[in-house]
Structure 1
Amino acid sequence: QLKPSDISKVLLVGGPTRMPVVQKFVEDVTGQKPERGIDPMECVAQGAAIQAGVLAGEVKDILLLDVTPLSLGIETLGGIFTKLIERNTTVPTKKSQTFSTAADNQQAVTVRVFQGERPMAQDNKLLGQFDLIGIPPAPRGVPQIEVTFDIDANGIVHVTAKDLGTGKEQSIRITATQKLSEEDIERMRKEAEDFADKDKERMQQVELVNEADTLVYSTSRMLDELKDKFSDEQKKGIEEKISVVKEALEKDPKDMADLRVKVDAANKAIQDASTELYKKAAPQPGTQASSSSGDAGSAAGSTDEPAVDAEFKEKEASSGASKSKETEKQSGAEKDTKSDTKGKKK
């Protein structure tokens, strides 16, 4: 989006720029006379020769920067176009992103490669697709599949999908990304601008459906794993809210506002139950006071066990909490004994 005042020099390149009417048009648009020091046709030939030398590997001291005319990515859950390489990225370039499965025990995934600017995959240009098979059966979201886009200096796109668990991988080589004409590229860019509002609305609908589907799945697993932690009333309340969301999804919801309300209600029921769960697990005020009267190390419930980041099992967490409380009580008792001893000495 340059303004005429941003342009310092105008160079005319190519045979047609010899025509006076073209030169007059350029001068009127830019407000300055074009440079006359180069041959419009000779410079094209020189540029083509340099490009050929670079591609052939014979020219090493010149770097020609090319860019991707449109974004590149893959289709993900709900038909969303997930971009890995954005438009106008300088090539060569390489980008990776990790994805997962959308269903339990899914043993294969189809990687569909698209080019374009619209948020939904079906509105962009399909460049190719391939299947990655042999994924070990596992719950959805567990397998880790790394998708890599690698564009070389010739503009050839190499797309690879690798299962990080087994090391299995599949790939595709795409050479047709530059077959789009300038008119096609400009048309696709303009369509993305013209349909921006409509596409945004569709995108929000798909994301809400994906959110609702994930909520139903994750909550069902949570209730199975923590069934002994929630009261019957809490479980019933959560199950009722999740059931409402599940029914709405099965009917292919059209009213997104209604689905949003149902999802929010289910989330609130889960959050309320989780809050109560953590309140029950919190130390009693008396225990905290006893701990705080001791050393800083004792108050923290310090043990010789190393800290564990992130993953843990609920049962282990419970036993760990009990152990910490016992340690705190012992530390407090030891502190009281030391205080009595000091008093006797005095």
Structure 2
Amino acid sequence: MAVGAAVQAGVLAGEVSEIVLLDVTPLSLGIETMGGVFTKLVEKNTTIPTHKSQIFSTAEDNQPNVDVMVFQGERPIARDNKLLGTFLLDGIPPAPRGLPKIEVSFDIDANGILSVTAREQNTGKEQKITITASTNLTKEDIERMIRDAEANGQEDQKKKAKADLRNEADALIYSVERHLQEFGSITSSAAKARAELLISELRQKIKDDLAYETLKQALDDLAAHLRSMQSEAQAASASASSASASADREPVGAAAGGASSNNNDVVDAEIV
């Protein structure tokens, strides 16, 4: 990581009273996340030394490890930036996707040396990489990378939007499949068949890399169907709970020795 210098000026009554030179990061630093997206942890022009951290998770059920790929640059897709290094964090306990908490920390010392640590919070297991070669970037390299980011800004935003949409679609498919696993017994055959068809169509559209609008429509269709199935499951659960509560109520009147019916209040079961 090349280190630049910024001038911090203190101005009093229109006059500069003191000037402090601060070392800063000339380019942003971060990692590649799901869908090839560049997720920044240290923004450009951050004063060093600095420490930044963020919590991430797994992209698959029972994922045993994660590749941490460290990049430097300003473009939203990771591969369009400079790869600084990569390392593997393994030994992640089996768990549904999104459940493990993996803290990724970036530490930059006063000499511009970058240390990246990934730590699985449940087990405490961690891996670390120290990057010194990143200081090899020249002023010309930095300026060129910034110009490239500006020149490709509009196209890059389209790529980023599509990558985000693919990630959203992946998460939605996972939610629908989990819903079918948990509530399949009270979901109609027609609803299940419709869900499977919509999932298949959405996956094919992602594979074919169709236009953003086409993917968005397929995603919206599946999301609407999931809401419909959730309503169906909620209604079925409420009906079953109501029937169970009615069956559990004791008869009143003669069995209570002629007690007043005012003492026979019924509390309905709570539906979660």
**TM range, normalised to the smaller chain?**
0.7 to 0.9
Name the aligned partner's letter for residue 185 of structure 1.
I
Question: Which residue of the other structure, out of 69, 83, 89, is the alignment partner of 1:126?
Answer: 83
CA RMSD of aligned residues (A): 3.3
Give the TM-score of the pair, scaled to structure 2: 0.78
Superposed, 1:1-346 pairs within 5 Å as 65-249=22-206, 251-279=207-235, 336-337=262-263
Which runs of 5 or more structure 1 residues have no equivalent in the other structure? Answer: 1-5, 11-62, 284-317, 328-332, 340-346
Name the aligned partner's letter for residue 262 of structure 2.
D
- Give the whole-Å Cα distance in 2 for the aligned partners of 1:334 and 1:168: 65
How far the C-alpha of 1:65 sits from its partner, in A, is: 2.7
Identify the structure with bigger relative contact order (alpha carbons < 8 Å, sequence gap 6+): 2
- Give the whole-Å Cα distance in 2 for the aligned partners of 1:256 and 1:64: 46
The corresponding residue for 1:39 is none
Name the aligned partner's letter for residue 184 of structure 1.
D
How far the C-alpha of 1:238 sits from its partner, in A, is: 2.1
How far the C-alpha of 1:280 sits from its partner, in A, is: 5.1
SS in 2 for 1:65: strand
Name the aligned partner's letter for residue 51 of structure 2.
K
User: What CA deviation, in whole Å up to 9, does each residue of 1:134-158 have, x standing for no partner?
Assistant: 2223332222211011112222111
Structure 1 runs of 4+ with >4 Å offset = 279-283
Name the aligned partner's letter for residue 254 of structure 1.
L
Identity between Structure 1 and Structure 2 (%): 51
Name the aligned partner's letter for residue 48 of structure 2.
V
How far the C-alpha of 1:338 sits from its partner, in A, is: 10
SS in 1 for 2:136: coil
Give the TM-score of the pair, scaled to structure 1: 0.62
Q: Does 137-146 or 151-160 show the bigger shift?
A: 137-146
Tell me if the contact between 2:186 and 2:236 (Cα under 8 Å) persists in the aligned partners.
no
The corresponding residue for 2:254 is none
Which runs of 5 or more structure 2 residues have no equivalent in the other structure? Answer: 1-10, 250-258, 266-272
Name the aligned partner's letter for residue 210 of structure 2.
K
SS in 2 for 1:228: helix
Q: Does 123-132 or 211-220 show the bigger shift?
A: 211-220
User: What CA deviation, in whole Å up to 9, does each residue of 1:222-274 have, x standing for no partner?
Assistant: 1101112322232222222222212323x332333222111111111111222
- Give the whole-Å Cα distance in 1 for the aligned partners of 2:151 and 2:238: 54
SS in 2 for 1:94: strand
Name the aligned partner's letter for residue 228 of structure 2.
D
Tell me if the contact between 2:183 and 2:233 (Cα under 8 Å) persists in the aligned partners.
no
Aligned residues: 244
Higher Cα radius of gyration: 1
- Give the whole-Å Cα distance in 2 for the aligned partners of 1:136 and 1:338: 51
User: What CA deviation, in whole Å up to 9, does each residue of 1:82-119 have, x standing for no partner?
Assistant: 00111111112111111112223321211111111000
